[in-house]
Amino acid sequence: MQFPVKKILACAVLAFGASLAAHAQIVIKFSHVVAHDTPKGKASEFFAKKAEELTQGKVKVEVYANSALYKDKEEMEALQLGSVQMLAPSLAKFGPLGVKDFEVFDLPYIFDSRDDLHKVTTGPVGAKLFKKLEKRGIIGLAYWDNGFKDFSASKPLHAVADYKGLKYRIQSSKVLEEEIRALGGIPQVIAFGETYQALQTGVVDATENPPSNFYTQKMHEVQKHLSLTKHGYLGYAVIVNKKFWDGLPADVRGQLEDAMRQATAYANQIAQDENDRALDEVRKSGKTEIYTPTPEERAALKKALIPVHQKMASRIGKETIQDVYEATGFDPSKQ
């Protein structure tokens, strides 16, 4: 039986195209807004390396740090449109998408330790929150720590009264706005990459950051005082475009999930080390006075901030806040 030449050629072309597709390298653009030498920056590079290793070169991850592709206000839209495939935004970034439950992580003093935090991020509560992103075309892959935040300012911050009247740079979060107002301060939403200039020029007087962000963004050059309040948590969600992720071959997706598990363990391991190192560097610079609040000062600050939980419950969701309380054993009435 003979086959028409055109049909044979067509089949050959289709087979060749399928072969090319099977061997085509998958490129993942991974964008974030912080420096290479922060915990998130290092973990992103670690993931890129592991992804290429475990997929045997089928996947190439291109990491773009320091808002090289998009500013932090633009990156979420870029992910949803598929212009980038992967991001690691701060957890507060999901509020503007309508998933306000993630703002529970912004509540001051809701986590007393990293162990309490990880009961949420690695447990059922964290998974439940990620599920809420899927309707927005987003898959949540992992939570990465940056660390606990400290307040810095142009003046000493010891007593609660010292916080009053200052202008604070915050990231976009209604919870953080309420946190600052609870202290008698004035919140100002400013992009992370523009914070140094805002502090330098006096547009704002103060801000909050884990030490690694404070140091790598050189804020110690324009902030004379740093108070180790550990009042809030800053972490990230590694997310991916759902259409892209669902379209990957199952074996490749599994290999990338393995790479992400390893990168997450690495990220959370180095976060505290990097913050400790950054604090030492700030101390060595001699440009910023570092202050450790007394137990009484910390208790007073906590008392001033815990009411933010109840005030923001209608926004975040009482159920979500209660889920976190139950996971960590937190009792606001005993604070």
| CATH classification at residue 307 | 3.40.190.170
Q: How many domains does the chain have?
A: 1
Classify residue 184: in a domain, yes or no.
yes
**Given pLDDT bands bounded at 50, 70 and 90, which one contains residue 163?**
very high
What is the domain extent for residue 45? Answer: 7-330
Helix/strand/coil percentages in the chain, nearest 5: 55, 20, 25
Residue 69 within a domain? yes
**Phi-psi group of 286: left, alpha or beta (phi > 0 → left; psi -120 to 50 → alpha; rest → beta):** left
Average pLDDT, the chain: 92
**Looking at the predicted structure, is the pLDDT value of residue 182 above 90?**
yes
pLDDT of res. 157: 98
When pLDDT is averaged across residues 196-224 and rounded to a whole number, the result is 96
The reply to whether 335 falls in a domain is no
Q: Is residue 37 part of a domain?
A: yes
Angle at 201 between CA 200 and CA 202, to 5 degrees: 95
CA pair distance 179, 173, nearest whole angstrom: 10
- Residue whose entry in the numeric block shows the structure tokens 């999930």: 257
Q: Determine, yes or no, domain membership for 24.
A: yes
Whole-prediction pTM value? 0.85
